[in-house]
Structure 1
Amino acid sequence: MRFLVLLPCFLAGCLAQKPHPCSSPPLLSGALAITTQNEKLWSYAKYLYDAIGQRFRIMELGTYENKSFNYDALLLYKEVTKAMTYKLFFFFFWGGGSSGPGQGLLVNSWVGDLPDKSGKYMTTVTEFGCIPVSSDYQTKEYGWLVTSFFNNVIGIEDPGKLTPPDFCQDAELNADSEEEPVDFFSVFLKKH
């Protein structure tokens, strides 16, 4: 009988939660591991994220179809002129225990369909600090692409690593390109 009384209270509490955007730390660095459901791709990477300058760098090594690769990409989001839209819904949960201070981790997960309806994604960040925990991205070719973040540190030890090299200074962005802007997930889906 208690269950029947507590269940509506629990559901009402969950449904009363309103999604709220969070802001990541302005500078963040760390590492991540990526695996795919069909085991074609595995990688380990270090990343640098600069929200102020809208830059993201990933330095990756791994295997793709049993062949080793190294990959280094610098994404300059200030240069992207096309909007990326995603429809989202939101939920939150505790990881670990919630009965004592410091025994658990409150996280928010955002789930949605990709704009072209080719799959789904889910990203999870900490409630306090908006630090990435994981991102899951569904693809036709690989199944689920799972990214787990760890060793996250607020700040960047060497901000110079987010500056394009000298040989890129004369490069121009083709604003008329029909290609979609590169987002976080598509970096990992390029054939290595």
Structure 2
Amino acid sequence: MKILAVFACVLAGCLAQKPHPCSSPPFLTGALTVSTQNEKLWTYIRYEYDAMGQRIRLMELGNYENKSFTYDALLLFREAVMYEINHKNHTCKKRPLKTDFQPIGIPKTAALLGQAVVGSSSGPGQGLLVNTWMGDLPDKQGKYLSTVTEFGCIPVNLSYQTADYGWVVLSYFNNVIGLADPGQLNPPDFCPDAEMEDGAEEPVDFVSLFL
């Protein structure tokens, strides 16, 4: 019996693996909130995410500098185009995207900060095992912290530094694997004929949509 007990302990140690960088599911639907350290921005966002087709839909309701706003954007990274959609007026603005598609997940360059249980570890189903990682933003313009679930690599929280707003915090919830409405990732019927606006603002990237 002692030999079996020792063998079981050794086996358990062998099976226990250190967390590794991971990729999130290619199709996700859910919601998130975005807030800034200087308290200028708070927004609630429903999203649909398609890593295979490199498409993201963001439907926002928020407050910026004490003014409420709504915003609906479809990002098509393969076409390097973003549509700003106004369903009320059935109009679209077409703008360029300057950034490459970045899939949700943990890049290989990230460093593990630690593993924790969100909720309680006292009983089955009372907590969620998550891993928190740290890394450098592109061009080393600051740091980011990213928390994902140990099983499934589902996003939980992302924080990153900005010069103008301090820390920006994205908190994910109600994540579902799959696309609730794949049609949301195609431009509405009144959008495809929209032309790139003359004198359009500087090309946007994904992060700038929240700031």
Under a length normalisation based on structure 2, what TM-score does the superposition of the two structures give?
A: 0.68
Partner of 2:42: 42
Residue 84 of structure 2 aligns with which residue? Answer: none
Measure the CA separation in 2 of the matches of 1:28 and 1:107. 18
Give the 4+ runs in structure 1 shifted more than 4 A: 16-19, 80-87, 169-172
Q: Deviations over 1:78-117 (max 9, x none)?
A: 3458658974212332223334322221112221121233
Computing the radius of gyration from Cα coordinates, the structure with the larger value is 2
Q: Which residue of 2 aligns with 1:160?
A: 183
Matching of residue 136 in structure 1 with residue 164 in structure 2: no
1:52 and 2:76 correspond: no
Q: In structure 2, what is the equivalent of residue 7 of structure 1?
A: none
- Is residue 124 from structure 1 mapped to residue 127 from structure 2 by the alignment? no
Moved more, 38-47 or 66-75: 66-75
Query: What one-letter code is carried by the residue in structure 2 that aligns with 1:74?
Result: L
SS in 2 for 1:78: coil
- Residues 48 and 185 in structure 2, CA contact (< 8 A), matched pair in contact too: yes
Tell me by how many angstroms 1:165 deviates. 3.2
Which residue in 2 is equivalent to 1:187?
209
Residue 136 of structure 1: CA displacement? 0.6
Change (3 A) 1:181 1:68: closer
State the percentage of identical aligned residues: 63
1:150 alignment partner in structure 2: 173
Q: Following the alignment from structure 1 to structure 2, what is the Cα–Cα distance between the partners of residues 70 and 105?
A: 32
C-alpha distance in structure 2 between counterparts of 1:45 and 1:158, whole Å: 16
Distance (Å, rounded) in 1 between the aligned partners of 2:40 and 2:101: 27
Alignment: residue pair count: 168
**In 1: Cα distance, 2:134 partner to 2:193 partner:** 38
Look up the match of 1:10. Answer: none
Deviation at 1:59, TM superposition (A): 0.3
Determine the structure 1 residue equivalent to 2:95: none
Q: Cα offset for 1:158?
A: 1.2
- Give me the TM-score of the superposition, normalised by structure 1: 0.74
Where 1:53 maps in the other structure, the secondary structure is coil
Give the superposition deviation at 1:18: 4.9
Greater helix proportion: 1
Secondary structure, in 3 states, of the residue corresponding to 2:184? helix
2:30 is matched with which residue?
30
Q: 2:67 matched to which residue of 1?
A: 67
CA distance in 2, matches of 1:143, 1:46: 24
Task: Provide the alpha-carbon RMSD of the alignment.
Answer: 2.8
Structure 2: gaps of 5 or more residues: 1-12, 81-97, 197-201
